[in-house]
Amino acid sequence: MCWALTAEPQAQAKEASLPADLRWNLRLLMSVDLVGSTALKQRSAMAAGDLEPWLPWFQGFYEALLPFLHAQYDQLPEPLRKDAAQLPVLWKYNGDEILLRTSLANHREALTHVVALKQAVCTWRTQWAEGLSTDTVPEDLRKRRFPLDVKATAWLAGFPVSNAVVGDDPENPADLIGPQVDLGFRLAKMASRTHLVMDAGLAYMVAEAMGGTNGLTACCFRYLKRHEFKGILEGLPYPVLAIHAEHELVNAEEALGQAEAPQATALPPDKVIAFCEHFHKDTLGVVRPFIFSDPGIKFAIQPKCHEALEARRQRLIDLRTKQGYVPPQAQDNPPEGESPQEVTDDVEVLAEGTVVPTVAERAATPPLSEER
């Protein structure tokens, strides 16, 4: 296991002065999908009456989901509510699936986002209309329960190494691509209305953050065993972890003993932490997630664990330097009369006019060493 202290102020200043697309950025990605949407459309198509009677429901889903999710943050306990510096924004639509993204400033935010997402999944059918702000959806539908549940997946993807931004604006990318991005789409197949599925890195952060809430957050972890996913870990089974989404009907049935016994085992956070530490340490091709600005030890940047990532990022910086960008280390000694902050601002302005490396240029950089 490797440890590191929080980044020193000088390192933080250098990081801040890099172009936005070259800074370390751990993104939290979310997928929210309708359960049973194909069957609903097929039933509606066979029924007499208006053409596409299912369409207003889908319009309501697209319009209401993100505002509805944002509203959940206001209902969180204070220890969680304060750890939400950046709410999720739309990434893209993928058929009946809505994809969202945000960036993490510290690992505690991971718990806040997951709990808000869980609340949205659990209350969607009865409260979905609270997210509507226009008259796109007919009034009579607004008063009805949504006919479908939603299911969700959340996972982490690190940038600018291992994954890449498509487009010229890293703050509003046209798309996100990379192996960690792909992993989330594979995991989404395991999600259900009662299981909010996560990758091992996010489960690690959520479990660790739960220790700082004094028991106010009772996320129930479930282990859904290992599963093989095409293109992931070269065919080796990947461990699927989830948060149990407490639907009232499901809970009532389980309490009466009328529901089938859960196939997944409930896990305390300390067992999740222990497993994830070993998984990230012992599995080839899996890197412990880190946040450059994280105030803790476990999720700060760790030189011994992440030196291969830093070396690869330096090659991206070198590519940019050949295009005219002046890296921050070249400005360590500011000209007389200028403050370090003024120099940083100059570097930022210069960075905005530089050419962003293409996907092909990124692909040309050597792969990460297998030693990690």
In this predicted structure, what is the pLDDT of residue 324?
Answer: 82
In this predicted structure, what is the pLDDT of residue 250?
Answer: 61
Q: Which residues pair with 28 in a beta bridge?
A: 102, 156
Which domains, from first to last, does the chain contain? 1-24+301-372 (no CATH), 26-282 (3.30.70.1230)
Q: Annotate 225-274 with DSSP letters as a single string.
A: EEE--TTSGGG--EEEEEEE---HHHHHHHHHT-SPPPSSEEE-HHHHHH
Mean pLDDT, all residues of the chain = 81
Look at the chain and count its residues. Answer: 372
Is pLDDT of 291 > 50? yes
Per-residue pLDDT reduced to its tens digit, 184-224: 999 999 999 999 999 999 999 999 998 755 555 668 899 99
Per-residue pLDDT reduced to its tens digit, 129-149: 988 887 778 888 888 889 899
pTM: 0.82
Per-residue pLDDT reduced to its tens digit, 226-253: 999 999 999 899 999 999 987 656 666 6
Per-residue pLDDT reduced to its tens digit, 8-21: 778 888 888 899 89
Q: Which residue has the higher pLDDT, 207 or 257?
A: 207
For the residues 249-267, what does the mean pLDDT come to? 59
In whole angstroms, what is the distance from residue 68 CA to residue 66 CA? 5
Which of 103, 114, 91, 89 lies closest to 27, judged by CA? 103
